[in-house]
Amino acid sequence: MSDLTRWFDPRGRGPFELFERLFEGEGGAAGIKVEELMDGNELVVRAELPGIDPENDVDVSISEGALTIQAHREERQEEKEKGGYRTEFRYGSFSRTLRLPEGATADDVKATYTDGVLEVRVPIPEQKAARMSNKIQVKRG
């Protein structure tokens, strides 16, 4: 494979699309694919973050009603062959910010990382019962 051929995707993508993918990350502009669901009174956010060290490469924070996940990934691949040496690396920072339901705070938030998936559990306080509506009778004037 020639050096020029490596820059073009065999599926017909041009160099500009590949350039955009390089700077956006494989997951698109956000860079982190997430899944959100409610489990009882907890918001559960699962983020796909394969190949990272969760203790050193991930930052999870809550501020102003939003959950932010930031991650840094660094990969290096080396190939030593008879006729030469080839090295390739990929790195980048990715982040995703999600709005939290009203009343959510950083208190008692738990984050775990298993098999390439970060799971964040945010307790959501029970919402106060909606005020009873009082019907107002309309009279003719």
**Residues 42 and 22 occupy one common structural domain:** no
**Residues 16 and 38 occupy one common structural domain:** no
The two three-digit tokens of residue 92, written as one number? 């980048």
pTM: 0.62
Which tens digit of pLDDT belongs to each residue from 1-38? 444 444 444 445 555 454 444 444 444 444 789 999 99
Q: 6 in a domain, yes or no?
A: yes
Q: 133 in a domain, yes or no?
A: no
DSSP for 84-122, written as a single string: EEEEEEEEEEEEEEEEPPTT--STT-EEEEETTEEEEEE
Which tens digit of pLDDT belongs to each residue from 95-118? 999 999 888 888 899 999 999 999
**Residues 4 and 70 occupy one common structural domain:** no
Query: In the β-sheet with 84-99, what is the strand arrangement from edge to edge?
Result: 58-63, 66-81, 84-99
- Domain containing 17 equals 1-27
Q: 95 in a domain, yes or no?
A: yes
The two three-digit tokens of residue 131, written as one number? 């005020």
Q: 134 in a domain, yes or no?
A: no
